[in-house]
């Protein structure tokens, strides 16, 4: 019996005890989640069950937050009133008010509310069906010919008898990417954010994006989710433990909410490698748990731990299913050399106008070596510190965010692809890997309800790997391959960006206009400047694009 059959049997055993559905989740989307986080800072003390460091968010919690904003409507700007209505429309099946009707349905069946092409709202079930479209065309200074993305698909979600929530997203894509993305594809032999792909024409890529899950409410406080999707941990723009950069993965997730606590357990099956061959790709497994505590309505702290491992013939290590144990102790008792990480995160909302947040992660370290300060290669840690400021200088809907990320060399690397911190040849945490420090600045302005203006600046200094040398930046490499300048391994002297220092400035200016619910026109300008001690990496480039998208977030390639 294989692992997927075991997961399925486990779900079936839980079914008789299901008593309360927890619904579906708001799909991960940077811009929509910014709106949610803005309302959470202003009104989140009234919705304590929304722990923003664990994403995606339940539609039920977001609907409660939007309704709280509705009851404070006199305090809202015109843009916030628009955003509040957007969230209420988008989560209509979880609000206490009736679904918004357009008044002019198409052929009596379509567009009967503002959010969906087609929907059914019955006493025993609900169903929402929406098209997924994205057409982007652009010009890149580094490549010849146009760059484009052509995506067509469908999104379906709903619930049955208020006991079973379900969601699916399926899209077919053809794309030609700008030059800097082509570099990443060539290095890692994978399309960023995606799984299996095929060449398309001469320089393009053809791939399918598929996500889906079912969600059961075991009780008022516990629900279980089962499917293929992504997760994101933290309140920052980046995550140092689990981001949404890699391809979707197969998982079983339990969420428990009691008092001020949110405890999440995640058990995932991942792919350790990918090749263009007709074969079963090798498997690895990921177990993660996160305990989030609201100390006060405005202060939250979280503790997390994860382990990545593999066993012969694709077996899952059953001892890691224990939801309330220290994974490192299990690893030691098993005599294994699995890859464990642990850390904490925090956030504090300040006067309904600002938020400070952070994250700290330990991969491996020896306290004596840390104190010595000699740059021992196996001292592998990372940390993040950031702040958000809403309505800057009293200007409504002018929001700023600043963030600093620091990741030591060889962090996330391990002995081989079965235990390193990647899935489908893509980092699970920071998309650029490790051996870096990064400054991020973001300014968002929404002068009217439908117009969104965003400027982002990323400055990254990274010690990149050259040819076969491993200086600790690429998660895909083995830490056993760190440089041999002498008969012995170079144990010391490893500082962040200490070798092959490469400075990258990535600027992104985007203007988006919302034509109707979840339908956008985007105009984007990307400017990149890269200077390196390795002359072959020096590069200046720009990319200009226009896109139409419907029920799909922007495809962000910020690395």
pLDDT tens digit sequence for 289-329: 999 999 999 999 999 999 999 887 667 878 888 777 666 66
74: domain CATH number is: 2.40.160.130
Q: How far apart are CA 459 and CA 437, in angstroms?
A: 8
Give just the sign of the alpha carbon dihedral 421, 426, 430, 436. positive
pLDDT at 7 > cutoff 60: no
- The helix/strand/coil state of 489 is coil
For residue 188, give its domain range: 3-550
Give just the sign of the alpha carbon dihedral 13, 18, 24, 25. negative
Does 227 reside within a domain? yes
Find out whether the peptide bond into 56 is cis, omega within 30 degrees of 0.
yes
Question: How many domains, in total, are found in the chain?
Answer: 1
Does 61 reside within a domain? yes
| Residue 3: predicted pLDDT | 52
* Tally of CB atoms within 10 A around 202: 7
Does 168 reside within a domain? yes
| Residue 18: predicted pLDDT | 42
Does 422 reside within a domain? yes
Per DSSP bridges, beta strands 436-448 and 451-463 are: antiparallel
| Token pair of 126 as six digits | 């609900």
As a whole number, mean pLDDT of residues 489-512 equals 92
Does 555 reside within a domain? no
- 56-70, 96-110, 302-316: the lowest-pLDDT one: 96-110
Phi, psi of 185, deg, nearest 5: -60, -45
What's 394's DSSP letter? G
pLDDT tens digit sequence for 424-446: 999 999 999 999 999 999 999 99
Does 444 reside within a domain? yes
Mean of the per-residue pLDDT values for the chain?
Answer: 91
What's 89's DSSP letter? H
| pTM of this structure | 0.92
Does 10 reside within a domain? yes
Does 558 reside within a domain? no
């Amino acid at each position: 019996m294989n692992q997927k059959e075991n997961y399925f049997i486990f779900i079936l055993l839980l079914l008789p005890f299901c008593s309360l559905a927890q619904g579906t989740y708001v799909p991960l989307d940077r811009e929509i989640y910014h709106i949610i986080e803005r309302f959470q800072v202003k009104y989140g003390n009234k919705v304590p069950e929304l722990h923003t460091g664990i994403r995606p968010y339940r539609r039920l919690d977001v609907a409660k937050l939007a309704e709280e904003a509705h009851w404070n409507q006199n305090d809202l700007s015109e843009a916030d009133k628009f955003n509040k209505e957007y969230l209420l429309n988008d989560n209509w099946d979880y609000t206490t008010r009736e679904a918004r009707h357009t008044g002019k349905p198409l052929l009596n069946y379509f567009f009967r509310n503002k959010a969906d092409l087609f929907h059914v709202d019955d006493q025993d079930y609900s169903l929402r069906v929406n098209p997924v479209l994205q057409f982007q065309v652009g010009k890149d200074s580094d490549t010849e010919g146009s760059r484009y993305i052509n995506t067509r698909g469908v999104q379906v979600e709903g619930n049955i008898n208020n006991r079973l929530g379900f969601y699916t997203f399926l899209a077919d894509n053809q794309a030609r990417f700008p030059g800097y993305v082509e570099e990443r594809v060539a290095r890692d032999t994978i399309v960023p954010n995606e799984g299996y792909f095929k060449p398309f024409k001469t320089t393009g890529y053809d791939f399918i994006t598929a996500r889906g899950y079912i969600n059961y409410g075991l009780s008022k406080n516990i629900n279980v989710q089962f499917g293929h999707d992504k997760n994101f941990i933290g309140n920052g723009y980046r995550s140092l433990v689990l981001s949404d950069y890699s391809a979707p993965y197969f998982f079983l997730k339990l969420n428990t909410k009691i008092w001020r606590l949110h405890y999440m357990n995640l058990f995932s099956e991942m792919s350790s490698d990918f090749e263009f061959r007709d074969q079963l790709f090798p498997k690895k497994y990921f177990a993660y748990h996160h305990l989030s505590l609201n100390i006060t309505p405005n202060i939250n702290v979280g503790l997390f731990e994860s382990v990545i491992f593999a066993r012969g013939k694709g077996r899952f290590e059953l001892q890691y299913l224990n939801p309330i144990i220290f994974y490192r102790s299990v690893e030691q008792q098993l005599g294994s050399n699995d890859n464990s990480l642990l850390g904490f995160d925090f956030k504090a909302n300040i006067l309904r106008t600002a938020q400070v947040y952070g994250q700290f992660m330990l991969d491996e370290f020896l306290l004596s070596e840390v104190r010595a300060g000699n740059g021992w290669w196996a001292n592998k840690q990372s940390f993040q510190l950031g702040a958000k400021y809403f309505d800057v200088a009293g200007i409504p809907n002018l929001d700023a965010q600043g963030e600093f990320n620091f990741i030591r060399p060889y962090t996330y690397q391990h002995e081989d692809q079965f235990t390193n911190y990647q899935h489908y040849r893509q980092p699970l945490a920071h998309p650029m890997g490790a051996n870096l420090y990064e400054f991020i600045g973001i300014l968002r302005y929404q002068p009217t309800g439908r117009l969104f203006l965003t400027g982002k600046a990323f400055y990254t200094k990274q010690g990149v790997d050259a040819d076969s040398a491993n200086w600790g930046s690429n998660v895909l490499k083995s830490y056993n391959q760190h440089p041999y300048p002498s008969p012995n391994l170079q144990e010391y002297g490893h500082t962040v960006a200490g070798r092959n220092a490469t400075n990258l400035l990535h600027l992104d200016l985007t203007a988006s206009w919302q034509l109707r619910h979840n339908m956008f026109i985007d105009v984007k300008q990307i400017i990149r400047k890269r200077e390196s001690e390795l002359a072959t990496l020096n590069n200046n480039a720009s990319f200009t694009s226009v896109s139409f998208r419907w029920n799909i977030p922007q495809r962000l390639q910020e690395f």
